[in-house]
Chain A
Amino acid sequence: MKLPTPPGLRRKPPRPGTTPTRNGAKVNGAANGDPKALKQAQKQAKRDTRKEQALEVPIATLSWLDERTGGGPFLRAFLFRKVPKGTNWYYTLGSATLFAFVNQAVTGVFLAMYYNPSTTQAYGSVHHIINDVFLGEFVRGMHKWGSTVMVVLVFLHMGRTFFFGAYKYPRELNWIIGVVLLILTMAMSFTGYLLPFDQRAFWATVVGVNINASGPIVGPYLADFLRGGAEFTSTTLSRFYAIHMLLIPGLIIALIGAHLFLVSKLGTTAPPWLKAEKARELAEEEI
Chain B
Amino acid sequence: MNKQEKERYLREYSILKSQGKPFFPYAVFKDGTMACITLAVIIVLSIVLGAELGPKADPTTTSYTPRPEWYFFFLFELLRVIKPPSVVFIATIGVPTVCMVLLILLPFIDRNPERRPARRPIAMVTAVTVIALMTYLTVEGALAGAPGKITLKTPPQYTAGKLVAAESGCQGCHKIGENGNAGPGPNLTHIGARLPRNAIARTLVNPTSPMPSFVALQKSNPQKFNQLVNFLAQLK
Are A and B close enough to touch in the complex, i.e. CB under 8 Å? yes
The answer to whether B117 and A272 have CB atoms under 8 Å apart is: yes
A214/B89 contact (C-beta < 8 A), A141-B47, A167-B107, A273-B116 known: yes
Contact of A199 with B23 in the complex, beta carbons under 8 Å: no
Whether B120 lies near A141 (C-beta < 8 A) is no
The segment from B53-61, B171-179, B195-203, B204-212 that touches chain A is B53-61
For chain A, what secondary structure do more than half of its interface residues adopt (helix, strand, loop), or is it mixed? helix
Complex: A149 Cα to B16 Cα, angstroms = 33
Q: Does B34 contact A92, Cβ atoms closer than 8 Å?
A: yes
In the complex, chain B residues whose CB is within 8 Å of the CB of A81: 22-23
CA distance A223 to B110 in the complex (A): 35
Cβ of B153 within 8 Å of any chain A Cβ, yes or no, is: no
Complex interface: chain B residues within 8 A of A198 (CB)? 53-57
**Which chain B residues (44-74) contact chain A, with CB distance < 8 Å?**
45-47, 49-51, 53-59, 61, 64, 66-71
Docked complex Cα distance between A164 and B115 (Å): 6
**Contact size class for B?**
35 or more
Query: How many A residues have CB within 8 A of the partner chain?
Result: 89
A276 partner residues in chain B, CB cutoff 8 A:
12, 15-16, 19
Q: Would A82 and B55 count as touching, CB distance under 8 A?
A: no
Residue B30 is within 8 A (CB to CB) of chain A in the complex: yes
Q: How far is the CB of B147 from chain A (nearest CB, A)?
A: 15
Q: Given A89-B30, A276-B16, decide whether A172 and B107 contact each other with a Cβ distance below 8 A.
A: yes
Whole-angstrom CA separation of A274 from B22 in the bound complex: 18
B219 at the interface (CB under 8 A from A): no
Chain B positions within 8 Å of A196 at CB level: 53
Residues of A within 8 A of B39 (CB): 99, 103
With contacts A92-B34, A95-B34, A198-B55 known, is A149 near B23, CB below 8 A? no
A30 at the interface (CB under 8 A from B): no
B104 near A204 with CB under 8 A, answer no
Answer whether residue A96 sits at the interface, using C-beta atoms and an 8 A cutoff.
yes
Is the pair B21, A208 in contact by a Cβ cutoff of 8 Å?
Answer: no
Q: Report whether B46 and A142 are in contact in the complex, using a CB–CB cutoff of 8 Å.
A: yes
Which A-chain residue is minimally distant from B75 (CB atoms)? Answer: A211
CB of B98 closer than 8 Å to a CB of A: no
In the assembled complex, which residues on chain B have CB atoms less than 8 Å from the CB atom of A89? 30, 34
Which residues of A have CB within 8 Å of B30?
A: 89, 91-92
Contact digits for A57-77, partner B, Cβ 8 Å, 1 yes 0 no: 000000000000000000000
Which A-chain residue is minimally distant from B124 (CB atoms)? A163
Q: How far is the CA of A130 from the CA of B8 in the complex (A)?
A: 58
* Distance in angstroms between the alpha carbons of A286 and B4 in the assembled complex: 10
- Asked if B104 and A179 sit within 8 Å, CB to CB, the answer is yes
CA distance A16 to B191 in the complex (A): 99
- Expressed in whole angstroms, the Cα–Cα distance for A82 and B15 within the complex equals 11
**Interchain nearest-CB distance for A216 vs B (Å):** 7
* A255: min CB distance to chain B, Å: 13
For the complex, what is the distance from the CA of A138 to the CA of B42, rounded to whole Å?
A: 10
Please name all residues of chain A whose beta carbon is closer than 8 Å to the beta carbon of B33 when the two chains form the complex.
92
B31 to chain A, nearest CB (A): 4
Q: Is the CB of B26 within 8 A of A214?
A: no
- Tell me whether A169 and B6 are in contact (CB under 8 A): yes
Q: Quick check: B16 and A85 within 8 Å, CB to CB?
A: yes
Besides the known contacts A214-B93, A269-B115, A276-B15, 7 further A-B residue pairs in the complex with CB atoms under 8 A apart: A83-B20, A85-B16, A143-B51, A145-B46, A168-B110, A196-B53, A197-B56
List the interface of chain B (C-beta within 8 A of A).
Answer: 1, 6, 8-13, 15-24, 26-27, 30-31, 33-35, 37-39, 41-43, 45-47, 49-51, 53-59, 61, 64, 66-71, 88-89, 92-93, 100, 103-104, 106-108, 110, 112-118, 120, 123-124, 127, 131
A-B complex: 7 closest residue pairs judged by Cβ atoms: A141-B46, A165-B115, A203-B66, A202-B57, A272-B115, A172-B107, A279-B12
